[in-house]
Amino acid sequence: MAAKLGILAGSGELPLRLVDACRASGRPVFVLGFAGAADPARFGEVPHAMVRLGAAAEGLRILRENGVEELVMAGPVRRPSLASLMPDWRAMKFFTRIGLRALGDDGLLSAVIKELELEGFRVVGIDSVLGGLLAPKGPLGRLEPDEEARADIARGLEIARALGALDVGQAAVVQQGIVLGVEAVDGTDALVARAGELRREGPGGVLVKVAKPGQERRADLPTIGVRTVEACARAGLRGIAVEAGASLIVDRAAVAAAADRAGLFVLGVDVQ
């Protein structure tokens, strides 16, 4: 029998998709949801518990008591300030060693993964549990970008990669060569909403999402789903480009269908 999987759950659909995959394969699973991000009502009869983000000692105890061997991180969690985190003694020991303020999101997640491995857990990537999530190269639906949109994609890739090199964000929105916004601590949804308020007349902009250079692939890969497509449509964007082989698409068929209905393209692109 496969090792018992512990899902460290934030918000969104990915934790539920992982639960469904484990059920389908008969793999034992336990969900540890983070208060303020995960909704415990959504896990139903699946064995689960909730923990405050700063309660590291309690979280580790719960995982061990439930026989978890492997861990996977799934779903976004808004990064708190150190004051609002209220770290317990175990979390404070960790932050004292790594220096919370010195790390961006990927640096912090990489440090968390190393800490979990030191505690004896094996941390795996979502794509090792859920096959078929990685974005393929090329268009998902019927539509493809024209030359102007491809120029915006190229500009967006340049901006997003520079942003990622600073470990700040993973995405940018470009319209007609103008950068309407970049992703920060408020996330992709907020970026898209801001871009909608700043959009210019003429052909709409493009959302571009890529992995950060050297990113820890077991946590926080760029992710889109049907909600992303719908948000881009509301903002007047004309398409989405994600890094092929390094981005996650939740329910590829549904995303393609939503894009076709909205008249948007969704494209997997190579990043050099």
* Percentage of residues in the chain having pLDDT higher than 90: 69
Q: Tell me, yes or no, whether 220 and 108 share the same domain.
A: no
Residue 101 has pLDDT above 70, yes or no: no
Identify the pLDDT of residue 181: 96
Q: Tell me, yes or no, whether 10 and 113 share the same domain.
A: yes
DSSP label at residue 141: S
CA distance 30 to 92: 26
Q: How far is CA 147 from CA 10, 154, 176, 180, 263, in A?
A: 38, 11, 11, 19, 17
Q: Tell me, yes or no, whether 178 and 216 share the same domain.
A: yes
Kindly report the CATH number assigned to the domain that includes residue 42: 3.40.50.20
Q: Tell me, yes or no, whether 13 and 67 share the same domain.
A: yes
Q: Tell me, yes or no, whether 153 and 215 share the same domain.
A: yes
CA distance 28 to 157: 40
Start-end of H helices in 26-121: 56-65, 82-85, 89-98, 105-118
**pTM reported for the whole predicted model:** 0.87
Give the pLDDT confidence of 227-246 residue by residue, as tens digits: 999 999 999 999 999 999 99
Residue 221 within a domain: yes
CA distance 57 to 66: 14
Residue 143 has pLDDT above 90, yes or no: yes
Identify the pLDDT of residue 103: 57
Give the pLDDT confidence of 161-172 residue by residue, as tens digits: 999 888 888 999
Residue 9 within a domain: yes
Domain end among 85, 109, 128: 128
Number of domains composing the chain: 2
What is the domain extent for residue 174?
138-269
Q: Average pLDDT over the chain, rounded to whole? A: 91
Q: Tell me, yes or no, whether 251 and 165 share the same domain.
A: yes
Identify the pLDDT of residue 254: 96
Q: Tell me, yes or no, whether 38 and 87 share the same domain.
A: yes
Residue 44 has pLDDT above 70, yes or no: yes
Q: Tell me, yes or no, whether 186 and 158 share the same domain.
A: yes
For 92, residues 6+ apart whose C-beta sits below 8 A from its C-beta are: none
129-133, 174-178, 194-198: least confident range? 129-133
Residue 133 within a domain: no
Q: How far is CA 148 from CA 65, 155, 239, in A?
A: 56, 11, 12
Q: Supply 49's token pair.
A: 């518990």
Q: Is 220 left (phi over 0), alpha (psi -120 to 50) or beta?
A: left
Kindly report the CATH number assigned to the domain that includes residue 167: 3.40.140.80
Answer for the pair 36, 17: CB distance below 8 angstroms, yes or no.
no
Q: Tell me, yes or no, whether 146 and 164 share the same domain.
A: yes
Give the pLDDT confidence of 183-226 residue by residue, as tens digits: 988 889 999 999 999 999 999 999 999 998 888 888 888 999 99
Residue 264 within a domain: yes
Domain end among 110, 128, 146: 128
